[in-house]
Amino acid sequence: MDLHEKDYDYNNFKNQGTGSHDEPEGYKTILYTFDKYQIEIKLTPTNEFIGIIGVKINKEFLSHKQKITSQGFHDVDEFYPE
């Protein structure tokens, strides 16, 4: 269905509003992991940076270094079966 010019402008205008969560076609959001955070970054279709739209705690927060260090003790239970 064709849109009248006025309606088209209105839809375009609505999508660019601060309260809109719609994502214009071709634009994308990527998650960038930085330390313990995940940063949501909005990019143009040609991967140009538009802005940061959110920051959240990374649930998979254990880096490789954290995974191999500082548990505080040696967990060797599995090598001593009952």
Partner 1 sequence: MFYQDNMDNALRFGDVLRGYIAITPSIKGPILAPSTLNEGYNIDVNLPIFSVVLSPCCSIGHGIITLTPLIKVRKAFFDNPYFLEDLTRINRKMEPEQTVPPNIWEKFPSEEKQKHLEEGYGYTFLELFIYEKNDLFQKYTIHRKRENIETNYYMIDFRNTYILNCEKIKTPEDAPLDSKCLQLSLQARSELRDKIAYYYARIPKEDKILED
The residue among 35 and 48 lying less far from partner 1, judged by its C-beta, is 35
Say whether residue 12 binds partner 1 (CB under 8 A): no
CB of 56 to partner 1, least distance (A): 13
The residue among 46 and 69 lying less far from partner 1, judged by its C-beta, is 69
Contact 41, 29 (CB under 8 A): yes
Collapse the DSSP code of 2 into the 3-class scheme (helix H, G, I; strand E, B; otherwise coil) and give the result: coil
Q: Which of 19, 26, 51, 72 binds partner 1 (CB under 8 A)?
A: 72
CA 25-28-32 angle, to 5 degrees, is: 175
Footprint on this chain of partner 1 (rule: CB under 8 A): 36, 57, 61-62, 66-77, 79-82
